[in-house]
Structure 1
Amino acid sequence: MKDGTKDEYLLLHELEKPYLGLTADRILDELRRQGEATLEGYQITRLEHGLQSASRAEAEGADIDWIVGALLHDIGDGLAPQNHDRFSAEVIRPFVRWEVAWTVEHHGIFQMVYYAHHYGWDKDARDRFRDHPCFDTCAAFCERWDQASFDPEYPSRSLDHFEPMLREVFARKAYDPAVIREDEVIGL
């Protein structure tokens, strides 16, 4: 890499654009893969969990960033089950508001309040973020949209319904300051 010339890097930059433009397609492919098998021990697939979360967000009137964030909050589960929250956040971070990415990144530790005590873990581990401006938002995300979305009877919307929103978000300019709005917390 250190021997590359400016012209070579400019060429690579141009050649990379079509691949970047297919990000939404790759994400949709991964979501479809997540719909192929039920999560071990659960009554629904990973895809259905994301669809339920996004459907709940939409039903509450959440904006497109929150809906797509809810849909994709566990997209990292297949490749990074031990840190899926951080993996999932990195997928969406360039394209959504800062608070949405932060919430997705930290939802794993916030969810521990529901189950950690069963394993002898600290169910209050999220309290170390108590003074963070996104604490209440992340707690609400987990309570209203994530932990409730394992219901095999829930009438979630289809992936086809959410596809235009997903495409709109991933068509944005990456890290656009007008979108990211770093340190601004709107809430759910």
Structure 2
Amino acid sequence: MKDGTKEEYLFLKPLEDEHIKGTADRVLRELRLQEEETLPGYKISRLTHGLQSATRAYNEGADVDWVVGALLHDIGDGLAPQNHDKFAAEILRPYMREEVVWTVEHHAAFQMYYYAHHYGWNQHEREKYSASPYYRSCVDFCERWDQSSFDPAYPTRDLDFFVPMVREVFARKAHDPAVQQKGVVKGIPPLATAAE
């Protein structure tokens, strides 16, 4: 690279810009692969898990960042099974609110609350993040949208329903402070009560 000329880099820039415009298509292609590449023992595919999580978020009135974050939170399972949460967060980070990215990045530790004790691991791993302003958002994300989304009977929207939302997120200007909203806590929408 050090031998590249200004002219050569100016030639490459529009090609790279065009490649970036295809990010949503590549993300959607990877999601579709999760229909085939599922983990043995589960009753639904990894794609269906993401779709179920996103459907729950959408049905509860979550904004597009939460819905797409829920859809893509496990997109790293196939390529990075030991750190899939970090992998997914890095895909989202340039295009999404920091709160949602942080939640995706840490959801694996928070999910341990539901199963780690069965393996003799630390069920309360999430507590090391209790000082984060996003701690409650991640607790709620895991409780309401992630851990509950392994249900083969749950009425789940298909991927086509979410495609416009994925395209909207990845069409944003990357690293835009107005999009990333560092330090802003919106939280998960409150659940409606029976009296409402």
Q: How far apart are 1:38 and its partner, in Å? A: 3.9
TM (norm. structure 1) is: 0.97
Segments of 4+ moved more than 6 angstroms: none
C-alpha distance in structure 2 between counterparts of 1:49 and 1:131, whole Å: 29
Q: Which moved more, 1:30-39 or 1:4-13?
A: 4-13
Matched, 1:144 2:141: no
Number of the residue aligned with 1:87: 87
Q: CA deviation at 1:37?
A: 4.4
CA distances 1:134-159 after superposition (whole Å, capped 9, x unpaired): 00000000000000000000101110
Q: Report the identity percentage.
A: 65
**2:9 corresponds to:** 9
TM-score normalised per structure 2: 0.93
Distance 1:152 1:116 in 2: 23
1:39 and 1:121 mapped to 2: Cα distance?
21
Q: Where do 5+ consecutive residues of structure 2 fail to align?
A: 189-196
The 5 A counterparts of 1:45-56 are 45-56=45-56
Which whole-Å CA distance do the structure 1 matches of 2:114 and 2:90 have between them?
A: 25
Deviation at 1:6, TM superposition (A): 2.9
Q: Which residue of 1 aligns with 2:191?
A: none
Cα distance, 1:2 vs structure 2: 2.2
2:142 alignment partner AA: C
Q: Deviations over 1:62-111 (max 9, x none)?
A: 00000000000000000000000000101111111000000000000000
When structure 1 is superposed on structure 2, of 129-138 and 13-22 the one drifting more is: 13-22
Instruction: Give the aligned partner of residue 74 of structure 1.
Output: 74
1:7 counterpart letter in structure 2: E
Q: Which runs of 5+ in 1 are unaligned?
A: none
